[in-house]
Structure 1
Amino acid sequence: MEEQFLHIIRNKITGKERATFFAELQHDAEKKKAFMAFEKLWVANNMVHRETSSAEKLKSFKAFWKTIHPEKRIRLWQSIAATAAALLVALLASSILIPGLWQPAPETMVFSAPKGNISQVTLADGSNIWLNSSSKATITTYGTKKVEVDLEGEAYFDVPHNETREFWVQTGHYRLLDLGTRFNVKYNPEDHLLSTALFEGAIEFSTHNKVILDGLKPGTMFSLDLSTKKLSLAKADADFITAWKQGKFVFVNKTLEQIAKELEEWYDVKFVFADDKVKKELFSGVIKRRTSLEHILKVLKISANLSYTIQDLEDGSCIVNFN
């Protein structure tokens, strides 16, 4: 009977054979119920495996069908609901699904924050992610079971606790497993630095096959030198680390070179230093991110008696030369 149903559903019969089949269903109530259930199961299978080939759809359907004992098939046909969604619920309730067969296809979205902007997104599970300027996050969700965030740049995460869902943040060869947490991650391959500050909850830091750090306490941060693989721990100052999220630049004994790097990520500008000594000038202060670049340069000039020139480029960006 199953092969006949498959031929009907997959249009592998002639028009005359199809007409004869449906005429027979009008006089056989049990067979009609069986075919309706079979058809809905086929549709549901195709929905789950919508991104696979026709051959793979057929293979997965047959594999599932073989797991159903004939007596269970009769009960299934008798209790089938009117929609494919209801069919899936009935199958799940009777625990006759093949593990992994009905997992929804992964969904991926790319989320970014262009220069001069901070972006925020709320995921379906209630998690909130803020991206700092010039950062990008590729977010992949696997139904309600797992979320993976591939991060380039800096982001703040506020993730509600959920024992049935894994939440991973991928940064190059390293990754973080969130356990219901608020934390900030900064990943800059160019600077060979990965840092994470934990403010609430717990996280696990690892590679794909080795746990590096577990049990980090809230109020603590770690920094990993990607060149030397040296890991260091320090106290996490939330006001300082998340100042970017509040729309501020906070500089505490930072060199002009470090400040220039942050300004390049926010403004469409490139800094050039004629003298290495100038790079090492130290500055401290708080500046709103909406402040114009010109005003910030004037403040730096007055603070350290610096001189600079600005070269405007055709693409709208500029080069600042510190002399």
Structure 2
Amino acid sequence: MSENLDGPENHDPNLPLYIGTRTFLTRRDLVLSFYTTKCQFQCTYCALPTRSATFEVTAEQINRQIDHVFTEKADQLGRYRQLSFGNEGSALDPRRFHRESVDHLLHRARDMENLEILSIETRPEYVKRDYLEHIAKTTHAPRLDVTVGFETQDDFIRQTVLKKKISRRVMEDRVALLGALGVKLTSYVLVKPAPRMSDEHGVREAVATMEYLKEICDRYGTELTIYLTPTYIAEGSSLQQTTEPGDWTPPTIQSVFEVVLAGHGMGLPVYTGLWSEELADESTDFRGREGYDPELRMAMVRFNRDQDVAHLLPFVNRPLALAG
């Protein structure tokens, strides 16, 4: 999805990495990824930091990226009801996304007169009460959302296999804070997050993760949205460099479908990332699995937009359309 895939050092630091739009759970969403100093964490499956800078990107440069967005989209700003932004890392990390640049973005976003939700992608340790209260006072959006990559409730997979360095204690503490402040949580959940995991195990693990997140969000009164990510082998990731052939197979689209239905059955809003962010080809994501059904993918895309389960019902108990 990036506008510049020729290497992070060749990217103009005055331009964002990505400007996109989507319909996210009924709302037209302006999605922005800014070019900043790369994330210091080395999650094994993630190659997004390879798009970021190895040098310091200044607040002035990030502000020019922001101005570029609002100049390019000036005649469309009234269409958007959600603004989602990140930096291929943590947008609340002040060493990489400077606070003055967050403020600049919030002030420029005042031109989005129909904005309902401001969504910020970050790691949980950067979620601080004073910073969220400041953002809530500065933005004109009625609701805040914090998007976090918790990925899996399995501590061994999350900490040792994926190297996320996110503990349950920290996650639950931040969920409690979000509930106290009335801030929504969107959590990424990986489908089939570990090597040598069967498709059935991958479904069970994703469902268990949704159940865990729902339980802690219900406990603290925090509104929850699930963002499912079918695992893929990203070009340039540690996973790609260390995985033996056959070790890590992506989930089938039918497995992802099962998880979507399970989340819907729990009463959760569920959005599914049905692309690989131009970091994988068809052989290393769900499109390369036998039985891939593009009609099912399109039904799930429509469900992403409006959460109407009627899009999915024709595919319940449908036989696999085997490739070839």
What TM-score do you get using the length of structure 1 for normalisation? Answer: 0.25
Relative contact order: is structure 1 or structure 2 higher (C-alpha 8 Å, sep ≥ 6)? 2
What TM-score do you get using the length of structure 2 for normalisation? Answer: 0.25
- Larger proportion of helix: 2
- Larger proportion of strand: 1
